[in-house]
Chains A and B, each alone.
Chain A
Amino acid sequence: MIPGFIISILTFPGVIVHELAHQLFCRLCKIAVIEVCYFRLGNPAGYVRHEIPAKASQNILIGIGPFFVNTVVGALICMPAAIQIIKFHDYSNPLYLLLAWLGISIAMHSFPSTGDAKSIWNSIWSKETGVLAKIVGTPVVGLIYICAIGSVVWLDLIYGAAVAMFLPNLLISIFA
């Protein structure tokens, strides 16, 4: 087992983008942010403290925001490198290897953490929350926990590599 903090250090850009995504969605939802730790050597490696959103939907959005941001940013950064490395087995360009590392690092931190899940869970099961939010939010929380468990067997890294390296190639194969 590789300690989590080592993985965090090796993939620190992903942690920072993850927290920035939380902060961005707080701002989009007009939720005040109290404190942000973009990166640290600890558990969790980063966090965002914000005021409790009035609506559960806002909490869900803030919680799963990094999933979209990290996925898109990771895939876009990695695209030229993914084609060169995966499709053409060309590892000669160090810049593209750097892009691959950066893209995978960012994409592998797409999964919301269990902290995010707890926050969403508390929010959707409060008395004020409507049935629809409960229906939408509950499987989201379930998925987050599955991903968190999967991270023990490197599901986050597998997801990051799949999104950053294989997705562009898959899309090309489909649309070519």
Chain B
Amino acid sequence: MDNSEHEATGIEEVNIEEKAVDIFPVTDPKIPLWIKVFVIIIVAVMTFSLISSPKPLKAAFAFENGIRAERQHKYITAANEYKKVVDIFPNSVVGWGKLYIACFKNKQYDAADLAYSKIADKLKPYGGISDEIQIAVVYYDSKQEINVITSAMSRIKPVDFLEKVSDYVRRNPDDYWGQYSLGAAYLNLEQYDEAKIAYLNAIKLCPYIDDFHMALATTYNQLGEYGKAINECNIVLEKNCELPDAYSILAETYLMQHKYDKALQSAKQAFEFDNGNSNAVGILTVAYYYNNMTDEMNETLTLLKKIDQEYYYGIKDITEGKSTLYD
């Protein structure tokens, strides 16, 4: 396409060049008014673009930081960066999609649900962020029946719950969520060996779900198999090195081993990544207690009271010496 050109004129310009001083001493042809207006508009638009650019740039850098954090398996950092993106571009499907995945990986399910609700009707069936979301959550799909059973867990007797789950597992032995729920039912009844077998079955069927490893770590703690518990926590932390729940369980393992300084270190990490997480606040409180850090302990205890009343009383018992769980 050759539709604009400058033209150094030919033969006539020889004369022009000779007389240039007389004919074109300093001035060009008069610039038309509409061109002046056009130039003003372009300059104004450029100025507007430059003034408008810092926010998109901030969002773009946050997005890149989020992606880098994801690559480093730091999903808390990634989620914080993606939050900056959606604050600036609230209609960004990619931003909300990425935030959803990061929150999901961090077990921040409420935040994940909120993020998903923003884009649920905008997602395309295939491609781009839809595929990423699909890959992130694919193993988390569970059957309706086991969902109904587990949702009743808190409302029915532990024995009845075990019966229902066992029945389901007999009919669906390859359902890893069934095995996981069976583990939870046994854990609830303090039948730790049976819980361990169920969780190991769940992991054998699907090794990708963090919850299975963390539940198994908790069971190992109850069985006094601390090395194995630490190993399970590390499996999870390799996939998400900022997961507060994994650090909380690790802190609990150290508390049970009476390694209070290590417990404090892990508990602090859990709290650092999510200071609104009741598990993180609770275990940090206990770690402060066993490290004789009374002021800090009272501070986190007060915080826990605001976050989770029921859990607060359990932790308070420990800090008042009424429970000897970690002694």
Tell me, in angstroms, the Cα distance from A171 to B85 when the chains sit together: 18
B223 within 8 Å of A (CB atoms): no
Decide: B2 and A88 in contact? CB cutoff 8 A: no
B321 within 8 Å of A (CB atoms): no
The total of chain B residues at the interface (CB under 8 A) is 48
Query: Contacts A33-B28, A90-B89, A92-B91 given: A44-B5 contact, CB under 8 Å?
Result: yes
Tell me, in angstroms, the Cα distance from A81 to B60 when the chains sit together: 12
The residues of B that contact A152 with a CB separation of less than 8 Å are: 1
User: Among the listed B8, B42, B63, which residue makes an inter-chain contact with A51, where contact means beta carbons less than 8 Å apart?
Assistant: B8
Q: Which of B49-57, B188-196, B207-215, B257-265 contacts A (4 or more CB under 8 A)?
A: B49-57
* Residues of A84-110 contacting chain B, CB below 8 A: 84, 87-90, 92-93, 99, 102, 109
The residues of B that contact A49 with a CB separation of less than 8 Å are: 6-9
Query: Contacts A16-B35, A32-B23 given: A115-B2 contact, CB under 8 Å?
Result: yes
* Residues of B72-123 contacting chain A, CB below 8 A: 85, 89, 91-95
Identity of the chain A residue whose Cβ is nearest the Cβ of B35 in the assembled complex: A38
B65 within 8 Å of A (CB atoms): yes
B311 within 8 Å of A (CB atoms): no
Tell me, in angstroms, the Cα distance from A47 to B128 when the chains sit together: 44
Tell me, in angstroms, the Cα distance from A84 to B94 when the chains sit together: 11
Tell me, in angstroms, the Cα distance from A81 to B57 when the chains sit together: 11
17 inter-chain pairs at a CB distance below 8 angstroms, sorted by A residue, are A16-B38, A19-B4, A32-B20, A43-B3, A44-B3, A46-B3, A48-B5, A48-B6, A52-B14, A62-B8, A79-B57, A87-B59, A87-B63, A88-B95, A90-B95, A176-B65, A176-B68
Decide: B8 and A27 in contact? CB cutoff 8 A: no
Shortest beta-carbon distance from B70 to chain A in Å: 13
A36 within 8 Å of B (CB atoms): yes
Apart from A34-B13, A114-B2: 12 A-B pairs, beta carbons within 8 A? A7-B1, A32-B28, A50-B6, A76-B50, A84-B89, A88-B63, A89-B93, A89-B94, A90-B91, A156-B1, A172-B57, A173-B64
The residues of B that contact A19 with a CB separation of less than 8 Å are: 4, 6
Interface of B is mostly: helix
Tell me, in angstroms, the Cα distance from A123 to B23 when the chains sit together: 22
Tell me, in angstroms, the Cα distance from A84 to B52 when the chains sit together: 11
B24 within 8 Å of A (CB atoms): yes
Decide: B49 and A79 in contact? CB cutoff 8 A: yes
Q: Which 5 A-B pairs have the closest CB atoms?
A: A115-B5, A32-B24, A176-B64, A88-B92, A83-B56
The residues of A that contact B32 with a CB separation of less than 8 Å are: 38
Query: Contacts A15-B4, A34-B9, A59-B8 given: A88-B94 contact, CB under 8 Å?
Result: yes
Query: Contacts A7-B1, A44-B2, A114-B5 given: A13-B56 contact, CB under 8 Å?
Result: no
Identity of the chain A residue whose Cβ is nearest the Cβ of B7 in the assembled complex: A49
Tell me, in angstroms, the Cα distance from A27 to B28 when the chains sit together: 8
The total of chain A residues at the interface (CB under 8 A) is 70
Task: Report A's interface with B, CB cutoff 8 A.
Answer: 4-5, 7-8, 13, 15-20, 22-23, 26-27, 32-36, 38, 43-53, 59, 62-63, 66, 73, 76-81, 83-84, 87-90, 92-93, 99, 102, 109, 113-116, 119, 122-123, 148, 151-152, 156, 168-169, 172-173, 176
Shortest beta-carbon distance from A147 to chain B in Å: 10
B160 within 8 Å of A (CB atoms): no
Tell me, in angstroms, the Cα distance from A84 to B55 when the chains sit together: 10
The winner among A43, A51, A122, A172 for most chain B CB atoms within 10 A is A51
User: Among the listed A16, A76, A119, which residue makes an inter-chain contact with B6, where contact means beta carbons less than 8 Å apart?
Assistant: A119
Tell me, in angstroms, the Cα distance from A5 to B64 when the chains sit together: 41
The residues of B that contact A32 with a CB separation of less than 8 Å are: 16, 20, 23-25, 28
Identity of the chain A residue whose Cβ is nearest the Cβ of B39 in the assembled complex: A20
Tell me, in angstroms, the Cα distance from A63 to B93 when the chains sit together: 44
Decide: B49 and A78 in contact? CB cutoff 8 A: yes
User: Among the listed B4, B25, B46, B55, which residue makes an inter-chain contact with A18, where contact means beta carbons less than 8 Å apart?
Assistant: B4
Query: Contacts A51-B13, A88-B89, A90-B91 given: A79-B6 contact, CB under 8 Å?
Result: no
B167 within 8 Å of A (CB atoms): no
B29 within 8 Å of A (CB atoms): yes
Decide: B9 and A80 in contact? CB cutoff 8 A: no
Decide: A33 and B46 in contact? CB cutoff 8 A: no
The residues of A that contact B52 with a CB separation of less than 8 Å are: 80
Tell me, in angstroms, the Cα distance from A26 to B27 when the chains sit together: 11
B131 within 8 Å of A (CB atoms): no
Tell me, in angstroms, the Cα distance from A114 to B2 when the chains sit together: 6
Identity of the chain B residue whose Cβ is nearest the Cβ of A98 in the assembled complex: B45
Identity of the chain B residue whose Cβ is nearest the Cβ of A26 in the assembled complex: B28
